[in-house]
Structure formats: structure tokens, C-alpha cells
Amino acid sequence: MDAPTILYGAPHADLVETPAAAVQTSPLIPGSTALEALPDASAAAAVVLAPPGAVERAAVLAHALRALKAGGRLTALAPKDKGGQRLRKTLEGFGCAVNETARRHHRFCTATRPVELQGLEAAIAAGAPQVARGLGLWSQPGVFSWDRLDPGSAMLMESLPALSGRGADFGCGAGVLARQVLTAPAVSVLTLIDIDRRAIDGARRNVDDPRARFLWADVRQPESSSGELDFVVMNPPFHDGGAEDRGLGLAFIAAAVRSLCKGGVLWMVANRGLPYEAALTAAFARVEKRAEAGGFKVYRAQR
């Protein structure tokens, strides 16, 4: 079999051509192959839509170079203001000779993988799963709020009562909310769902409880919801690939509606400026704002 092309992320077709048979390796695409699991020097080419975080980006580029055969071609691109301007320096730091171009607010760097590289191991170690000091839990650069407790999540945790029955944590991250939910003995099952494989891997390590189930999936997909739950907790995302996307929060609310039984309860925190009240009021029998401070609101909504 020919050596594969690696693809990381889903760059728009106008930006870069990718072979249909490329191996998808983004942890944000459920079902994809883990980039870190690819053998050294096994791929013929790599196309990387580099992520915005500096530590995460360097680790992804280092892994792509590690997995390329010597002489293999790396194409790395990123929006100019989300890491694009630093691509070249990072790749040159690894020992690549880089050709850089700019188009459609993106920077594009191409390089042929040299035989000798430097600094890959350090970049890979810095971006690897680790116990985050600020959180005391397993997480990884690139996971949402990976090394500190998000203030919105903290506020939801302060407001949550002891829950009971079957529940889900939508967009569970590394499992901070789930750990609190599972302190209630009356919770029988808790399904932790996140679109980020690294978050689910962290949550598996952080939530050691036989009542927990882990799902690497998109909450928006109908198969992620059961229709039989007694409760859902969530701190929904409001950024999608860096751009504000209120629709994502609304899709999370719709998924909660699909998942809850009659009388089931949604606990949700949201940024104060986001317009979720109308959607909650339209879909739930009773909606209460339970807390508001520091730019966040916590809602309890009952079906």
C-alpha cells in the first residue's frame, strides 16, 4: 500500500487541495485516527490546518513531521491572526526550510521533511496529556480551559443541587462538572459527551466511576441523544473554530430537549450576552434563572 497523506482538520477546499483518501487526524472529528498513534516516518505527505494555541500547534506540527517520511511534503496553514504568523518560525525551529505564502487571510507554509530535525520531542511532550497544575486533573493543551477552571463552569457547579437518575454532561471537557454530579449517590448513569477526543481521554482518567459512560461524539447528531434522561448539565461552547457561533449553543439546547424525558431538567450556564432565553422558554415548561454574576447566567429549565 502507498504511504498515506495525513490531514489534520478540515481546511476549506478553496484554501488547499487534499486527496480524498487522506487520513483525518484531528481530535475534533469523531472517528478520526490519532496523529500521535501514527508510526514514525510512515506518511508521504501532510496537510495541517494548524490549531490556534501555540503549545498545541507546535505539538501538532512536530507530530506531523515525526510521522512524515524524509522527503515527504508538509503543508501547514492557519488564519493569519490565529497562529498563521508564527507557523514559519515554529517550522524553522524544527530545522525545516520553509516556503511561505499568504492568501485569503491565511499563511501557508510548505516544507520538505529533512532527514535531521530538532526539538520535536520537547514540543510533543509540552503538548501531550498531563495533569494540569491549575486544575489538578488530566487534560491537554487544546482542550477547553485545559489548565484552569472556567469561571462559567465554576458558577454552574456552585448552583447545582444533588441530582438523581440518568443524566448526561454535554460538552464534558476534562470532566470537571461530571465529577461533581457523580458525588450524588442518586445519580444512576452519567454519559459524558464531547467532540474532542483529548477531552474524552482526560475525562476517562479523571472520572473513575462505574456509573460514567464516555462518548466521543457530536452532541448535535441525533444518535448522541437518548430521549430518556432525567437531567442534562452543560456549559455549551460558543466558539466554533475560533468564530463566535451562537448556533452551537442553540443546537446544544435542542439536543437537551431531545434527550430529556417529560419533567427532566436541564442545568446550563451561558455567557450573559448570549440570547438563549427565548429558545429555552419555547422548548421547556418552566425556565428559571438561578444565578447571574461575572458575565454568566445559570438556568434551570424543566421539560
Ligand X SMILES: C[S@@+](CC[C@H](N)C(=O)[O-])C[C@H]1O[C@@H](n2cnc3c(N)ncnc32)[C@H](O)[C@@H]1O
Task: Rule CB under 6 A: choose which of 76, 166, 196, 206 binds ligand X.
Answer: 196
Q: Which residue has the cell 515554529?
A: 90
CB of 149 to ligand X, least distance (A): 7
Task: Rule CB under 6 A: choose which of 6, 38, 111, 172 binds ligand X.
Answer: 172
Task: Rule CB under 6 A: choose which of 7, 176, 270, 298 binds ligand X.
Answer: 176
49 is a contact residue toward ligand X (CB under 6 A): no
Task: Rule CB under 6 A: choose which of 237, 259, 276, 299 binds ligand X.
Answer: 237
Which window, 38-46, 72-80, 189-197, 271-279, contacts ligand X (CB under 6 A)?
Answer: 189-197
CB of 293 to ligand X, least distance (A): 17
Give the span between the Cα atoms of 19 and 21, in whole angstroms.
5
Nearer to ligand X, 72 or 202 (CB): 202
**Residues near ligand X (CB under 6 A), total:** 20
235 is a contact residue toward ligand X (CB under 6 A): yes
Cα distances (angstroms) measured from residue 164 to each of 11, 104, 181, 190, 287: 42, 51, 9, 10, 19
Which window, 19-27, 55-63, 100-108, 218-226, contacts ligand X (CB under 6 A)?
Answer: 218-226
CB of 145 to ligand X, least distance (A): 5
**Binding residues for ligand X restricted to 110-169, rule: CB under 6 A:** 144-145, 150, 153
**Binding residues for ligand X restricted to 52-91, rule: CB under 6 A:** none
Could you tell me which residues come within 8 angstroms of residue 118 by beta carbon, excluding any fewer than 6 positions away? Answer: 93, 94, 95
CB of 225 to ligand X, least distance (A): 11
245 is a contact residue toward ligand X (CB under 6 A): no
CB of 18 to ligand X, least distance (A): 22
Task: Rule CB under 6 A: choose which of 9, 11, 142, 171 binds ligand X.
Answer: 171
CB of 176 to ligand X, least distance (A): 5
220 is a contact residue toward ligand X (CB under 6 A): yes
Question: What end-to-end distance do the CA atoms of the chain give, in Å?
Answer: 54
CB of 192 to ligand X, least distance (A): 9
Nearer to ligand X, 220 or 290 (CB): 220
Per-residue H/E/C for the chain = CCCCEEEECCCCCCCCCCCCCCEECCCCCCCCCCHHHCCCCCEEEEEEECCCCHHHHHHHHHHHHHHEEEEEEEEEEEEHHHCHHHHHHHHHHCCCCEEEEEECCEEEEEEECCCCCCCHHHHHHHCCCEEECCCCEEECECECCCCCCCHHHHHHHHHCCCCCEEEEEECCCCCHHHHHHCCCCCEEEEEEEECCHHHHHHHHHHCCCCCEEEEECCCCCHHHCCCCEEEEEECCCCEECCEECHHHHHHHHHHHHHHEEEEEEEEEEEECCCCCHHHHHHHCCEEEEEEEECCEEEEEEEC
Which window, 36-44, 49-57, 212-220, 280-288, contacts ligand X (CB under 6 A)?
Answer: 212-220
> Which residues of this protein are in contact with ligand X, per CB under 6 A?
144-145, 150, 153, 171-173, 176-177, 193-196, 199, 218-220, 235, 237, 248
